């Protein structure tokens, strides 16, 4: 029996490294595929998938920034709430003092 039906698996990092050889290293697709004993269509499928999903690599950064900004907003809102609470207490004390001195 031959190896027919057995597939060799390339992990995500290996696929990116293979694509990088062509995109950055300017190696010919045919040379890479020949060396790795893979069909060029497989290479081009990976390339298509890479570019279609490339946005996800940057979305993580955007989500971190958004999360950080949401945390900052929440902290500022809490600080504002405390300020309003302290100000309300001070105003109550001020009104009480004015009443005690007969100014109101």
pLDDT digits (tens, 9 = 90+) for 6-24: 667 899 999 999 999 999 9
Residues 47, 77: one domain? no
pLDDT given for residue 1 in this prediction: 43
The better pLDDT of the pair 65, 74 is held by: 74
Residues 63, 95: one domain? yes
Residues 49, 27: one domain? yes
Residues 62, 102: one domain? yes
Residues 17, 48: one domain? yes
Comparing C-alpha atoms, which of 22, 24, 56, 25 is closest to residue 42? 22
What pTM value is reported for the model?
Answer: 0.53
How far apart CA 27 and CA 7 sit, in angstroms, is 24
How far apart CA 86 and CA 96 sit, in angstroms, is 15
Q: Is residue 43 part of a domain?
A: yes
Q: Is residue 82 part of a domain?
A: yes
How far apart CA 23 and CA 74 sit, in angstroms, is 43
Q: How many domains does the chain have?
A: 2
Residues contacting residue 28 through CB under 8 Å, at least 6 positions apart: 22
Say if CB 45 and CB 33 are below 8 A apart.
no
Q: Is residue 76 part of a domain?
A: yes
Q: Is residue 20 part of a domain?
A: yes
Residues 69, 85: one domain? yes
The parent domain of residue 76 ranges over 58-104
Helix axes 12-23, 29-36, angle to 10 degrees: 140
């Amino acid at each position: 029996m031959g190896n027919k039906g057995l597939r060799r698996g390339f992990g995500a990092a290996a696929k990116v490294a293979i694509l990088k050889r062509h995109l950055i290293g300017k190696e010919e697709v045919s040379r890479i595929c020949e060396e790795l004993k893979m069909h060029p269509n497989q290479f081009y499928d990976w390339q298509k998938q890479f570019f279609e999903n490339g946005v996800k690599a940057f979305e993580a950064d955007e989500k971190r920034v958004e999360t950080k900004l949401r945390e900052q907003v929440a902290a500022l809102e809490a600080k504002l709430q405390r300020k309003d609470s302290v100000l309300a207490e001070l105003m109550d004390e001020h009104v009480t003092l004015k009443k005690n001195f007969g100014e109101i």
